Amino acid sequence: MKLLRKTELLEIVGVSDATLDRMVKAGRFPAPVRIGKRAVAWPEAEVREWLAERAAERDRERAAG
């Protein structure tokens, strides 16, 4: 399992640090896993799944309207 550190994650997702923090806090983005006392990372598979869900939502919205 590949883990993404925050800087790499932000490049992939394309949002700001603050926006990512708000999304995680609101439950709208996968929560990080602790990999050390002061270090966290996100499982790449969960991030890719989240992105795929967003694309599927977009496609459903386009098809509906």
Q: Please write the tens of the pLDDT for every residue from 51-65.
A: 999 999 999 999 997
**CA max distance for the chain:** 48
Q: Which domain does 14 fall in, by range? A: 3-64
Number of structural domains, the chain? 1
pLDDT of residue 65: 77
Could you give the residue ranges of the DSSP H alpha helices within 1-65? 6-13, 17-25, 44-64
**pTM of the predicted model as reported, rounded to 2 decimal places:** 0.88
Q: pLDDT value at position 3?
A: 98
- Write the pLDDT tens digit of every residue in 13-52: 999 999 999 999 999 999 999 999 999 999 999 999 999 9
Q: Which of 64, 7, 17 lies closest to 41, judged by CA?
A: 7
